[in-house]
Structure 1
Amino acid sequence: MENCQKSPEYYAKKDFMRNVGLKSRHIYNFLQDKLTDDEIQNLNLIQTFRKYLEIYSDIELKESWNIDEEIENYRILGFTKECAEQYVKRLKNIFTKDSTINWIFRIAESKTSDDGDKIFEKYLNQFDGYNDNDDNDSKKKKENHVCTGTSSSMGKSYIIFSDPFGIPPRHISDWGPGYSNNSNNSNVYSEDDIRMVMQQANVSRRRAIKYLKKNKGDVIKTIMDLTN
């Protein structure tokens, strides 16, 4: 794996996982021992992170009902203390609405594009109680903060992206106002939908629209179709 370790793809994956907030030793062990040369070269960032989470698929996380227990779940999954606290405090009024794994997957997904955090924030704003979060007063500071490495679920209908462990994805209509619903007409797909498919699946605009048509406007199914 020496050649791949020195490749741009290797360093891109390493930097991405550090940016998500994983500890350096977890990143090193994962890239060194868990990925093949071919996977390092060819998997996109979110596919790589899905592979990382699969390592922990047999671990039983705490049924967390308070902040400290949820932070511990993040720590078990390899996050630094700083990043675990930052993420959980941001979600402190709503983290019980879905499993720890799904929230972590969303966080990683939001790091894959320049406007990903804005999309994630828009998603979070639909939850009752989220804007009562005291930590939102410093939201801009948090959005610019980069973490570097040195579960029970009350509502799986809240899944926003493709789930790493096969829980059925929620439909695009659940995103709320401003997002496109089912349609066979590419003109009604929002730019956000098209851009998200292009970024997450690493495909051209034409291909993104083609697969949106195929999946009747369901962004999640489209991304899964293009990346599986």
Structure 2
Amino acid sequence: MPTALITGATAGLGAAFARRLAADGLSLVLVARDEARLTASAAELRKRYGVAVEVLPADLSLDEGIRRVEERLERGVDLLVNNAGFGHPGAFLEVPVADEVTMLRVHCEAVLRLTLAALPGMRSRGRGYVINVASVAAFFTRGTYSASKAWVVNFSESAAAEIPEPNVRVMALCPGFVRTEFHQRAAMDTSGIPDFLWLSADQVVDEAMRDLARGRRVSVPTARYKAIVSVGRFVPRTLIGQVSGRLGRR
């Protein structure tokens, strides 16, 4: 039975990936900090889909937490979804440096180390997939969050380019605004974001899985966000920074 390991698995895109992959018949390894919520999510998935679900409590902002997940990945999985992440409740110059470093550890160091822990087994078996959840913010300028997600995109593309096995794939997933707990947790005011820019978590996951099957190295769900990213490449970076700095937060 193929196995998928998902970080940040109890809410938002992580929970949507868990539902989709369980519906597809994969066994799951769910990773998150909140053990009680993790256990409840696992029980619901087992009951609804009849699949094996393992829980792995781990805080990816800590070296110990990353090591725990690395050890599980070294035992072998077929799909790794690096989804854990968060936003800051404040602009770049307002955020304590310790919080910025924590973001880099979760968004960059954990993604690097977990990807490298999973790939050797995948390559030896000649099959396996890694989805690193980035963001449309990666293509714009918005503090450490967008900078860290730009790293995820570049890293994923670079890793994919160096893997000779055709059935071992690494893909960066770059969604736009998704209706999850993310913005509430980051204390972001989303009242100024137009309705047409919002996506559902299930929609994002469905498009991600299609793009992964097609061998895409970067997935930008929906035509509207593909257009936004394309236009953004031709807009001066200073203007992009001014606009993105105002959008979604007052």
TM-score by length of 2: 0.26
Q: Which has the higher contact order (CA 8 A, sep 6+)?
A: 1
Q: Greater strand share, 1 or 2?
A: 2
Q: Greater helix share, 1 or 2?
A: 1
TM-score by length of 1: 0.28
